[in-house]
Amino acid sequence: MRESIVKSVRNTVKDLHASGLVDDITMRNIDNLCLPEINDFSPEKIVSIRKKFRLSQAALASIFNISPSTVQKWEQGHKKPAGASKKLLDIIERKGLDALV
């Protein structure tokens, strides 16, 4: 339900922007507010993403600029990714590693 409301609001503001009633800055702010929610990543999902791209725990840690033990703790369920790490996992999952290069 939330997604349909967000999509509707964004499309309305996009139309207003196209007609000149909404400026570029307001449009960018609306786009930023309408970013999709980032779901939590289970240990199994993290392993799946890492293996999909044939990365070791150390290689994934290097991409995220974190320690390999942090990736290991995520995969064991002792810690959960948060903040930038969670966002990077989302980007890698949706767009692949090329999105980070």
* Each residue's pLDDT tens digit, 10-63: 899 999 999 999 999 999 998 888 877 788 999 999 999 999 999 999 999 999
Cβ-based burial of 19 (10 A; exposed 0-12, middle 13-18, buried ≥19): exposed
Query: Per-domain residue ranges for the chain?
Result: 2-33, 43-100
Cα 101 from Cα 70, distance rounded (Å) = 22
pLDDT value at position 50? 96
pLDDT band of residue 1 (cuts 50, 70, 90) is: low
pLDDT value at position 97? 93
Q: What is the CATH number assigned to the segment(s) 43-100? A: 1.10.260.40
pLDDT value at position 32? 83
